[in-house]
């Protein structure tokens, strides 16, 4: 089968991570044939590091390259939907890092939009962007691959098998992700990210809950079980009175979260059409390394999936520098004391599997496990949660 040509859009963390997982595929399956970044220098640095033949700061030039079959979008979310629509109109298949899109303000809006734009207006704008991408993908008949790695992680895949094996129903899902804050400059402002921890991190938890209820629905009823309403609360805890009291001991010594106009904590309850619930908890102010979990409380059992910590390898050190030169796991603040380094973080969290599924879905002309509908549903649920948190009421979907 012909080698698929990849065009990377973005040249930083996400693009580097995607390269690492492309490189694990069978030889000759894919080739990164071009990279586009905000500056030509950034694109050239990526191209030099990974032997990519084309480097540009022009998206149009990348899209015009006939050797490129797939556009892989690893840019900040504010540009996601526009790039995706242009790629679809150019007949290119799409791989996109989450989230799909959001609301990013108006062109002449100079104020921090998270502090003065109503969440109802944001919800309408985000939904419009999301549906525009779906329309472009559908009308141009291209594949859209939504990089929601939780769907592909071995713990969630095993959870699906256990749900299938049981005779019961899911009454409640509890999903959480927390760590001590993003290192990205863009994460601080709504105009770049489209939201805070609820969108940036909660897309994982919300996406996993929607996906698992869809899976249960197909298994039990032959159709997906859909979310129908949301109630939520959000906060910027690092600028709360509780954080201000800690300034004498420097609240930001270990927690990097310091937003301008986004939240760094959220709690969401999703109601599904069968009466079941999903509780989503996300936080950018949680010490102890990355924590990602989903629990299914069923009528005949409980299933717990942990996408990060495992005890295959354990270490103890008095000095945090004892193992300084070896990677442990994302967001770990210190290597002192007892720790559990991940053996293969990309595999265990589903990054390798999602890239493989995307490439074979495009080659085999089938839909990926994580596609456009899941991406759009996540936007609708998360922005309904933002509106709920602002208005203090349940929002129907």
In a domain, 197, yes or no: yes
What is the residue whose two structure tokens read 């390259």?
Answer: 65
174 and 264 assigned to the same domain = yes
Contact partners, residue 26, CB within 8 Å, separation at least 6? none
43 and 97 assigned to the same domain = yes
Number of domains in the chain: 2
CB count within 10 Å of CB 357 equals 19
313 CB burial (10 A radius; 0-12, 13-18, 19+): exposed
| Sheet with 70-73: strands ordered across | 55-56, 30-36, 4-9, 70-73, 93-97, 144-147
Q: Are strands 227-235 and 265-272 parallel, antiparallel or unpaired?
A: antiparallel
107 and 206 assigned to the same domain = no
Report the candidate in 190, 184, 188, 185 with the shortest Cα–Cα distance to residue 109.
Answer: 190
In a domain, 373, yes or no: no
In a domain, 374, yes or no: no
In a domain, 273, yes or no: yes
What's the count of helices (H) and strands (E) in the chain, helices before strands?
13, 15
Residue 21 belongs to domain with CATH number: 3.40.50.720
DSSP-assigned letter for residue 266: E
The Cα-based distances of 207 to 156, 214, 336, 361, 378 in angstroms read 12, 10, 34, 20, 6
311 and 212 assigned to the same domain = yes
> Can you give the residue range of the structural domain that contains 328?
150-351+380-396
Contact 304, 293 (CB under 8 A): yes
377's tokens: 């549903």
Question: Would you mind telling me the total number of residues written for the chain in this entry?
Answer: 397
- What SS3 class is residue 123? helix
- What is the residue-level pLDDT of the chain in tens, covering all 397 positions? 589 999 999 999 999 999 999 999 999 999 999 999 999 999 999 999 999 999 999 999 999 999 999 999 999 999 999 999 999 999 999 999 999 999 999 888 888 999 999 999 999 999 999 999 999 999 999 999 999 999 999 999 999 999 999 989 999 999 999 998 887 888 999 999 999 999 999 999 999 999 999 999 999 999 999 999 999 999 999 888 887 776 655 667 788 888 999 999 999 999 999 999 999 999 999 888 889 999 999 999 999 999 887 788 999 999 999 999 898 888 888 899 998 888 888 888 999 999 999 999 999 999 999 999 999 999 999 999 999 999 999 999 9
What is the residue whose two structure tokens read 């599997």?
Answer: 353
196 and 260 assigned to the same domain = yes
207's tokens: 């996406």
Contact 390, 118 (CB under 8 A): yes
45 and 167 assigned to the same domain = no
Helix ranges (DSSP H) in the chain:
13-22, 40-50, 59-63, 80-89, 119-140, 154-165, 190-193, 197-200, 202-220, 241-245, 345-348, 351-363, 372-391
Contact 106, 57 (CB under 8 A): no
Contact partners, residue 266, CB within 8 Å, separation at least 6? 196, 197, 198, 202, 232, 233, 234, 235, 280, 281, 282, 283, 385, 389
Contact 156, 216 (CB under 8 A): no
Residue 217 belongs to domain with CATH number: 3.30.360.10
In a domain, 218, yes or no: yes
49 and 141 assigned to the same domain = yes
In a domain, 375, yes or no: no
pTM of the model: 0.93
CB count within 10 Å of CB 388 equals 22
238 and 114 assigned to the same domain = no
136 and 257 assigned to the same domain = no
Rounded distance between C-alpha atoms, residue 254 and residue 285, angstroms? 9
In a domain, 213, yes or no: yes
CB count within 10 Å of CB 321 equals 10
144 and 284 assigned to the same domain = no
In a domain, 391, yes or no: yes
266 and 362 assigned to the same domain = no
pLDDT digits (tens, 9 = 90+) for 216-258: 999 999 999 999 999 999 999 988 888 777 665 566 778 888 8
238 and 140 assigned to the same domain = no
Phi-psi group of 255: left, alpha or beta (phi > 0 → left; psi -120 to 50 → alpha; rest → beta) = beta
The alpha carbon dihedral of 58, 62, 65, 66 has a sign of negative
């Amino acid at each position: 089968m012909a080698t698929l040509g990849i065009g990377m859009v973005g040249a930083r963390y996400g693009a580097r991570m995607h390269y690492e997982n492309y490189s694990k595929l069978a030889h000759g399956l894919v080739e990164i044939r071009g990279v586009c970044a905000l500056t030509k220098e950034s694109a050239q640095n990526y191209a030099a590091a990974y032997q990519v033949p084309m480097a540009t700061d022009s998206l149009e030039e990348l899209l015009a390259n006939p050797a490129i079959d797939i556009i892989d979008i690893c840019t900040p979310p504010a540009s996601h939907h526009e790039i995706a629509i242009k790629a679809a109109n150019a007949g290119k298949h799409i791989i996109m890092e989450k989230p799909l899109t959001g609301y990013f303000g108006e062109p002449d809006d100079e104020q921090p939009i998270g502090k003065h734009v109503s969440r109802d207006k944001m919800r309408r704008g985000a939904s419009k962007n999301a549906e525009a991408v779906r329309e472009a993908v559908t009308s141009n008949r291209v594949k859209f691959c939504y990089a929601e790695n939780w769907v592909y992680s071995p713990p969630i895949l095993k959870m699906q098998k256990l749900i299938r094996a049981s005779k019961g129903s899911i009454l409640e899902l509890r999903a959480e992700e927390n760590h001590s804050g993003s290192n990205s400059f863009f994460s601080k402002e709504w105009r770049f990210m489209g939201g805070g921890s609820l969108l940036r991190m909660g897309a994982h938890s919300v996406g996993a809950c929607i996906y698992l209820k869809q899976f249960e629905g197909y298994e039990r009823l032959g159709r997906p079980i859909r979310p129908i309403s949301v109630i939520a609360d959000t906060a910027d805890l690092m600028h709360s009175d509780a954080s201000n009291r800690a300034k004498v001991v420097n609240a930001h010594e270990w927690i990097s979260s310091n937003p301008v106009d986004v939240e760094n904590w959220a709690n969401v309850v999703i109601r599904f059409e069968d009466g079941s619930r999903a509780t989503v908890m996300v936080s950018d102010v949680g010490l102890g390394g990355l924590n990602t979990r989903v629990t299914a409380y069923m009528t005949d059992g409980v299933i717990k999936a942990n996408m990060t910590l495992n005890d295959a390898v354990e270490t103890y050190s008095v000095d945090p520098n004892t193992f300084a030169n070896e990677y442990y796991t994302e967001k770990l603040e210190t290597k002192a004391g007892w720790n559990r380094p991940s053996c293969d973080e990309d595999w265990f969290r589903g990054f390798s599997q999602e890239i493989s599924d995307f490439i074979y879905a495009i080659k085999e002309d089938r839909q990926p496990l994580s596609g456009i509908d899941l991406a759009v549903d996540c936007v609708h649920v998360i922005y309904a949660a933002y509106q709920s948190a602002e208005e203090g009421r349940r929002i129907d979907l």
